[in-house]
Amino acid sequence: MSTPTEIRRAGLCAAALGLAGLLAAGAPAQAQESYAELSEKILDGERRLRDREDHLKTATRMARRLLLENGMDVNKMGETQVFRDAVQKLIQGLAPKAQDITYATFIQSALAATESWKPWEGLGPGLRPFLKKGPFMVKLAALRVINEHGAEGVGDILLEMLEDATQNPGRSRMEITLIDAAEKLPHREGVPIMAKALEVSQFKEVRLRAARQLGEFRGVAGKKALVAAAVYTNRDEVTACTAAESLLRYGSYEGVAELIKRIEMRKAATFRVYRALCKLANVEEEGFKGIPPDKWYSVGRDDQKVVIDEILAWWEKVKDSKPRNQLMVMLKAKGVKDVPAQPDGKQAVTALLHGLDLEPLSLRYRALDMLNELAGDSLSEWLYDFRSILKKLNEKTALREWEPQHGYKEQEKVEQLKREQSQKAALARSWWSNNKDKVEFINGQWRLPNN
């Protein structure tokens, strides 16, 4: 079984590696050529381009099969080092050919070959020519490399690509792939891209992804874009609701206020607005007045009016308070002991760690967000993949499956998520219990000194 760190690095790369196909095909009887021999042919500029590409694909298949056999453990890929070096040299050599359409498929194959060594750091500068000058499919391939490995120093090009008004049949696909890549950039590069996507993209799926991710990548530009997207006059109600949910993660009720305006203006609420408000109030299971979101359209107008009155009464109670303080109130109401009045001390961390076991799920995630702010670096080993479940592919290989935005529909996965989260919460509490007397408040977080 891979270690947690290796599992996290692997991510959900099953599709990219074609694991299903490899599992079905089985292991090769015997490799006809070594990595060294294939690498020499791949780099031989005198050979036909088609032959070089065939050798590249052969070596790539061998490396991916080896990775699967080793349980996705990149540390056991030593015998492929000569091929890895050849791929790096090949990508560098193909940069001047970025615009040449005859080299497009060869470049795509070279970029795809990097997937066998995750993470491959330092690829960013070498990708710039392909992102800036490459044909459509080459740009997509370069974006996928960023999505697989992360990168630095390419944010300016991705922003230019997003702002490019040129339309083509694949524009939606390009923007979705671009947003996925932006998530793997450093925050200082990724936030402006996602903020711009939320502002200018014509595609709802792109705007939704940007709004969700800006809840993770918090920054001034991100909050400004979310506030603009949450405004009650925004006709894209789904994105407005998502923006309101992300704004709560900034410790802001600005998005909630805009959803309330939608209700007050129309004297009614749609299912999407009601579901969002239930989630923001941490009553997404029972709903207001005992009406869960999925039953919203099953009740009459008179009952809906009673619910709306209850929502407005709730808003009057919380609108002048801070979400952090309200979270402490909810933890205490759920039975957590010794909840402090001030939501930033050591006792607050202790209370929040107990909140990771509570229902509903949205309350656990609010506790998780606040923990990440107060002690995220110290507790990252257990909290990093809190929103995911472990999915076994075979005896050696397990990958992380991240929870969808509105939660799992399958009861089995819901129970697995709760079980795994409870285990992680217990480990985090154990570490905190053993170290809370040693930690100090350093750079805005509770940390161990000199760690």
Query: What is the length of the chain?
Result: 451
Backbone dihedral angles phi then psi of residue 332, each to the nearest 5 degrees: -65, -40
Place of tokens 């039953």: 295
Least confident of 9-13, 87-91, 190-194: 9-13
420 burial (CB, 10 Å; 0-12 / 13-18 / 19+) is: middle
| 237-256: average pLDDT | 95
CA dist 123 and 237 (Å) reads 39
CA dist 255 and 242 (Å) reads 9
Other beta carbons within 10 Å of 220:
9
29 vs 159: which has the higher pLDDT = 159
The pLDDT, as a whole number, for residue 395 is 75
- Residue 31 pLDDT > 70: no
Least confident of 3-12, 27-36, 397-406: 3-12
CB 289 within 8 Å of CB 359: no
H or E stretch covering 402:
strand 398-402
Question: What would the pLDDT profile of 392-405 be if each residue is shown by its tens digit?
Answer: 877 777 788 989 87
Structure token digits, residue 266: 């129309």
CA dist 12 and 10 (Å) reads 6
Q: What is the DSSP letter of 306?
A: H
| 99-120: average pLDDT | 94
- Residue 312 pLDDT > 80: yes
Q: What is the DSSP letter of 80?
A: G
CA dist 449 and 441 (Å) reads 9
CB 242 within 8 Å of CB 211: yes
H or E stretch covering 132:
helix 124-133
Q: Which residues contact 430 (CB under 8 A, 6 or more apart)?
A: none
Dihedral sign for Cα atoms in the order 416, 417, 420, 422: negative
The model carries a pTM of 0.80
CB 323 within 8 Å of CB 248: yes
The pLDDT, as a whole number, for residue 32 is 57
Nearest CA among 276, 251, 274, 387 for reference residue 327:
251
3-class secondary-structure state, position 339: coil
Domain locations in the chain?
9-151, 327-447
CA dist 250 and 406 (Å) reads 19
CB 192 within 8 Å of CB 219: no
- Residue 15 pLDDT > 80: no
| 116-144: average pLDDT | 94
